[in-house]
Amino acid sequence: MSAADLRRDSAWWGWGRAENRPTLTEAQRALVAAELGPADPARAVALEDVALPDALSIPDRLIAAAGGPGAASAEVEDRVRHAAGKSYPDLWRIRNGMPVDAPDAVLAPESAASVRTVLEACAREHVAVVPFGGGSSVVGGVEPLRGTHDRLVSLDLTSMREVRIDDRSHTATLGPGLRGPEAEAALNDAGYTLGHFPQSFMYATIGGFAATRSAGQASSGYGRFDALVTAVTMQTPSGEMTTLETPHTAAGPALRELIVGSEGTLGVITDVTVKIRPLPTERRYEGWFAESWKAGIELARALAQHGALPDVFRLSDHDETRVSLAMSGLEGLKRSLFEGYLKLRGRSEGSMVIVGWEGDRESVGRRREVSAAVMRRADAVPLGRSPGEAWEHGRYEGPYLRDLLMDEGLMVETLETSHTYSRIGELYEGVRGALHGAMSDRGHPGIVMCHVSHVYRDGASLYFTFLCPREAGSEIEQWRAVKTAACEAIVAAGGTITHHHATGTDHAPYMKAEVGELGIEALRAVKDRLDPAGIMNPGKLIPA
């Protein structure tokens, strides 16, 4: 598939290909109505009904720098596709034909040299630049903000999909425009895996993984994306910044760490070298049932601190467990047998745990035995492979489900954070209470669900999903009130404002709590040196 085809290989108003969308069954639709009450259905408008501002002209020298007319587009569909990410506000605005703005043109350079030339030209012409990979940001990371500049281009990187593998070192250098499945397929063909599988895997890109410090569903085993990166190259308006490909260096603060997580505010990542592993011959996923959410957290801690952590560990709280089982399609005899088994084992209520191990058959078997022993000592009940295989089958369907629920007229959003084991309970209760309170205050009590999917020796992440009927005509204000309450609760509990979704526009106001005023000044100083004209992704990461 060509880069141009890839750029249009998804629904412009939502997630993925329209033909791949699942559908809600009548039972699922009835469950949602019973839990949340009536809501006003809301479908996306037609593409021709999207209200875009007129495109301002882009200097010919910028188009030439990108590679000529074939590497530039000001067509309405391309501008719409680069006008939003995948946060609830992004989706709501674009589905209703009211994006916050749109780029004046989309440029698609094919090389690092071309990217550098484009950035230098944009700096001279004072044209804002928003780097764009898969457009999967859920925190406003690709919002087309112009800052102090009149004109704006979206710099689409899908043409840059090079793969170079170092068999001896077990590393690979990957182009920033490679989607997750493209990178994984190329590595699989050579007998390797990257092991990075976030929920956005199908459309997010290597450059986006690096720019946002992404974490995948198997990060407990393979590591977060920033832990996989061994070298990186970034083009900035002031020149190229690159790091050595070496296992470790003590030569001052790690500039690699400055580039990874910079969210396009300093420059454009054009090469990423990562650690790779032999392709697993065995993948085993299972379900277990913990006595309670708190018992599940203790189970995660025991596994991590005893060196028995599976590659995949996902713990759902009571509400997520309840809703997930209700939405799973288990009915009649199968549902009765499942509930009877749990009751027999003293688990009529509790928390679902999904665990998984990857590698060769011998290592998977050995590691599973160690993990299972810890889980049994924690009184977790085994459920066999079916729940794990069901999770594997649907592991990337969350974004599709959100589109379906938005069609039904619901506000659906996620947020995530992390803390140490000593304070994770406080953080969980604080955020959960803030979400419930904020939705109730606006007259729309909803559902709040949470899971742990990234586990460390000293703590773990919390991933919240919240939903309630939308306030027709005030959807963005409703979202902002609920999201703000949750963010303030995170800050009050001393948690991170983002564990893996990055900062974007949504979390930028809370960066002072994250890094302190001096830390923000240091980031501003770096940006002033690398991007003196302030053209790179205005409004993201660094608070105004």
In whole angstroms, what is the distance from residue 74 CA to residue 413 CA? 31
Other C-beta atoms closer than 10 Å to the C-beta of 173 total 18
Other C-beta atoms closer than 10 Å to the C-beta of 241 total 18
**SS3 track for 139-174:** CCCCCCCCCCCCEEEEEECCCCCCEEEECCCCEEEE
463 is catalytic: yes
Assess contact for 265 and 531: CB atoms under 8 A: yes
What DSSP letter does each residue of 391-441 carry, written as one string?
Answer: HHHTTT-HHHHHHHHHHTTEEEEEEEEEEETTTHHHHHHHHHHHHHHHHHH
Cα–Cα distance list, 94 to 51, 83, 105, 540 (Å): 9, 8, 18, 20
For tokens 């900035």, what's the residue?
236
Buried b or exposed e, range 327-349, using 16+ CB within 10 angstroms:
eeeeeeeeeeebeeebeeeebee
Both tokens of residue 495? 């948690």
Q: Are strands 171-174 and 459-469 parallel, antiparallel or unpaired?
A: unpaired
Which are the contacts of 389, defined by CB distance < 8 A and separation ≥ 6? Answer: 285
Both tokens of residue 331? 């009915």
| Distance from chain centroid for Cα 21 | 19
In whole angstroms, what is the distance from residue 461 CA to residue 498 CA? 9
In whole angstroms, what is the distance from residue 316 CA to residue 300 CA? 12
Active-site choice (203, 222, 285, 463)? 463
**Active site (catalytic) residues:** 463
